[in-house]
Structure 1
Amino acid sequence: MKARRLLLFCLLLLVLYFIPSVMGGYSYTEQNAIRSSTPYKDGEAVYEKQFGNKKIVILDTGNAHYVTLVSKAWGVLYRVNQTSSINARDPQDKINITWSAHLTKDKRYDTILAAEVADQRIKKVIVTNEGSNNNLSSLDELKKQSTVYVEMDVINGYAVHYINLPTSDAGNFVFRGLDEQGNILAKGF
């Protein structure tokens, strides 16, 4: 009788151990979920921000910074939904940006927006989707011309946001770095 209970207990432990990975890449800890996703490297979490049951984590691997969207399911399982790297196009850039959109079951995009700010005068990052050809300068004009208008505060050199968008609004993002007075100091596409 004890041998049967021990066998059932061992089988239960095996099932609990393998269920998260079989169910679509889930892990029991946030750290394991991040480690087992792109870029498959360890690194230091240099920034985190919670958005309901989702969290954006910026990971510094030494070579690059990766923005990762981690979701929590059923209160105990974690999974990385998407990852995007922040790449500097030019070392002289005041702001380095990335965005990523992942199509969900409800035909909307889970979208992450992120900026790494090199200029300490930049205190806020505005993201719009009016397109890169417009040379609009006032914030009121930007609000009128855009279907997406997101203001992100810069904290420790980073600004991030998560938003769920309809397919028609996910794209053509323009990032603008603003100082405390609202002057545009940097622009990135």
Structure 2
Amino acid sequence: MRIQGRSVAVGALLGAGLVVAGQQVGRISWRPVVAPVEMAQLVIRRDAKGDGHFGAPRSGHVAHRGVDIEAPLGSPVRAIRSGRVITTGRHRGRGLYLELDHGRGLRSLYAHLQTVEVATGDGVRQGQHIGTVGKTGNARHPLITPHLHLEVSSQGQLVDPSSMGLTLVDRLEESSDALGGN
């Protein structure tokens, strides 16, 4: 196929450049990632206390820094890529959390955990069990459903995790019409 006089082929995306404020900040490797929780579908949390989408408005006019993925309390959390644990700890908002460095400027952060199964400095394999889904930090509120907060950054810039090959879906709202009611 030719586009604007150039030969092109359709295929898998193997890498891309990132432009921030008009500046090229490097190449991002888009190797496949594994789902951070083992669920039939990765459902974005949306409940009485908020919208779990990347970039959704938060109090104080701050955008949501990651995605909130619904999962049962205690579900295993897995590393989306191989890397090294650079920090674990407790934070007022994030609750129990850990952060992985995957190399080449790519990092992932997992928050609101019930348990952390790795220690700072540990190497982890893609898909390795690194913790469990919890309700810590801001997620302690009774109206907030259990979920994993996942943040991804490249070269210090936040990236929407769904842009890395994770298929995230919205919870279908049940209505009386959909259930055959009036």
What's the TM-score, normalizing by structure 1? Answer: 0.27
Name the structure where helix makes up a greater proportion of residues.
1
What's the TM-score, normalizing by structure 2? Answer: 0.28
